[in-house]
Amino acid sequence: MPMMDSHGLAGQVARSTAMAKALRVLILGGTTEASALARLIAGDARFDATLSLAGRTSAPKAQPIATRVGGFGGVDGLAQYLREQSIDAMVDATHPYADQMSTNAVAACARTGTPLASFVRPPWTQRTDDRWQIVPTTTKAALALGAEPRRVFISLGRQELQAFAVAPRHHYLARVIEPPDAASLPPGLRLLQARGPFDRAAEERLLTDERIEVLVSKNAGGSATYAKIEAERALGMTVIMIARPHKPAGHAVKSAHAAIAWLEQRLHETAPRSLRGV
């Protein structure tokens, strides 16, 4: 039997103990990608994952892994959470427009030495038959509607509807997952409560029945809400598209399977933080 020095033996013991311990993972969620990753990681004993939600919807979809809700308190709060919870790796699966959370994630991971992977969802690309007007902010979108009253379909988060109060002459229909506080909304705004995904035929019917002239949208990318873009194209409608913000990222991943593959590398690379005493 070959001799083994104490360092090698200790290393082997540490490695086998590490193999028995699950990698503690924090997933920043609120998107279809985060839910897909949660489904894939649930029940995989190699990982001990928690999904974090901002708390924008009061009744989020049930998730198959532990969930926490609400902000961390900026970079300091997130760094403290990573240390206190002995998080070994983080996956940022927030929405392409959630740039503040991603900025905080990159900074907190750099400060604590936590590996970070980030979902990068490609934007929709404008085709020659699309009539997009690209604007930098929601307020600029409201102002771009112009002086003449128009029938406008707003496909944004409920917290962004108040921006349209600066242009009250238009007829607005806004689709939201849950109703906003009515106090700051433009007077003529009607709400349509619905949660995607939506299909193209239904989107075309809605835009036609409501005699919509302009769609206001973010360039979310992905398939869940693309039907409205196909519908506006078919109907020759104008879209006021709010430009994507700069969203800082760690190691880029495009799917839940790619995120799992990246986490597997972290498993092989390091003993969990909980064993390193960090």
Touching ligand NAP, residues 52-91 (CB under 6 A): 52-54, 56, 71-74, 77-78
Is residue 260 near ligand NAP by the rule CB under 6 A?
no
Q: Which residues pair with residue 66 across a beta bridge?
A: 50
Is residue 104 near ligand NAP by the rule CB under 6 A?
yes
Category of 211 on φ-ψ map: left (φ > 0), alpha (ψ -120 to 50) or beta:
left
The binder of ligand NAP chosen from 64, 123, 149, 157 (CB under 6 A):
157
Alpha carbons 26 and 31: distance in angstroms, whole number: 15
Is residue 97 near ligand NAP by the rule CB under 6 A?
yes
Stretch that binds ligand NAP, among 4-12, 93-101, 164-172, 269-277 (CB under 6 A): 93-101
Q: Which residues pair with residue 23 across a beta bridge?
A: 47
| Residue 82, φ and ψ in degrees, nearest 5 | -60, -40
Least CB distance to ligand NAP at residue 38 (A): 12
Is residue 30 near ligand NAP by the rule CB under 6 A?
yes
Helix (H) or strand (E) holding 143, with range, is helix 138-144
Strand-strand pairing, 251-253 and 189-193: unpaired
Alpha carbons 274 and 20: distance in angstroms, whole number: 12
Least CB distance to ligand NAP at residue 50 (A): 10
Is residue 163 near ligand NAP by the rule CB under 6 A?
no
Query: Residue numbers of the site for ligand NAP (CB under 6 A)?
Result: 28-31, 52-54, 56, 71-74, 77-78, 94-95, 97-101, 104, 157, 160
